[in-house]
Amino acid sequence: MSTDKIRRRLENQLPAEIVCFLGELAMDLRVEKTEKAIRNAFLELRAKRPLEKISVKELCQLACINKSTFYAHYRDVYDLSDCLEGETVASILDSLPREREYSVQSVEQFTRDLCLAFAAHISLINILFSGKEQNRLSVYLEHSLKTVIFEKYPAFAADVEKNILLSYCIQGAYHAYVNNPNADTATLVDVIGTISRTLGPLWRV
């Protein structure tokens, strides 16, 4: 039996509100499927070449969609990349243990947790933040983490020393991690944590 015949039979047998709900659910699933196809195609292309070398045309061909469908979701490939980058940063931040008293009680634990968060997302990091985009992740993270820390410790926002220390820990941990791909995670975490431990006395409120 065709899909149209099934739909018509359901419309005749079910209350209108249920038919409407099922229609909306089917639409949501189609949108989700399209979104997934777009993102998978982009990541496949991005893993092979710089962002500026990816065209909407080839992305659509790989995702088996037309251009109008793509533009219904994103303005261009840069908009798509920004969206995925933002989601990756949010996911990294969400993976940091919420119970930690970062920046005050243990800067060593802060950088250790940050490195472990990098490790958990390294596949996406290597794809989305490669080449010219490499520095964007550390900038995103520094801004986001400082925002969270300044909400908890407002006085830090105007404290030049604390700002420098935060920048050093975040940027240092990130670049040390991504620039040493041959080192195992445990070694990286230990070394970066040990370095950060020496900064502990500077975090006194």
Give the pLDDT confidence score for residue 10 in this predicted structure: 46
DSSP 8-state code for residue 15: -
Does 122 share its domain with 50? no
Give the pLDDT confidence score for residue 46 in this predicted structure: 95
Tokens of 135: 């520095």
Long-range contacts of 29-36 (CB under 8 A, 24+ apart): 34/63, 34/65, 34/69, 34/73, 35/73
Does 123 share its domain with 179? yes
Amino acid at 203: W
Report yes or no on 182 lying in a domain. Answer: yes
Does 22 share its domain with 44? yes
Report yes or no on 103 lying in a domain. Answer: yes
Are the C-beta atoms of residues 85 and 137 closer than 8 Å to each other?
yes
Classify residue 65 as exposed, middle or buried by CB count within 10 Å of its CB (0-12, 13-18, 19+): middle
CB-based contacts of 69, cutoff 8 Å, min separation 6: 34, 60
Query: Is the dihedral angle over the CA atoms 128, 123, 57, 69 positive or is it negative?
Result: negative
Closest Cα to residue 145, out of 128, 159, 118, 166? 166
Does 9 share its domain with 88? no
Report yes or no on 205 lying in a domain. Answer: no
CB-based contacts of 149, cutoff 8 Å, min separation 6: 102, 103, 156, 166
Residue ranges of the chain with per-residue pLDDT less than 50: 1, 6, 10, 19, 21-26, 103
Report the first-to-last Cα separation within the chain, whole angstroms: 72
Give the pLDDT confidence score for residue 80 in this predicted structure: 94
Give the pLDDT confidence score for residue 31 in this predicted structure: 76
Of 53, 74, 95, which residue constitutes the final position of a domain? 74
Which domain, by its residues, includes 180?
84-200
Does 107 share its domain with 60? no
Amino acid at 50: P
Report yes or no on 79 lying in a domain. Answer: no
Global pTM reads: 0.74
Does 55 share its domain with 126? no
Give the pLDDT confidence score for residue 198 in this predicted structure: 81
Tokens of 132: 């010219």
Number of H helices, E strands in the chain: 10, 0
Classify residue 24 as exposed, middle or buried by CB count within 10 Å of its CB (0-12, 13-18, 19+): exposed
Are the C-beta atoms of residues 19 and 10 closer than 8 Å to each other?
yes
Domain count, the chain: 2
Does 116 share its domain with 70? no
* Distance in angstroms (rounded) separating the CA atoms of residues 17 and 110: 51
Closest Cα to residue 93, out of 78, 75, 114? 114
Does 124 share its domain with 182? yes
Of 29, 48, 74, which residue constitutes the final position of a domain? 74
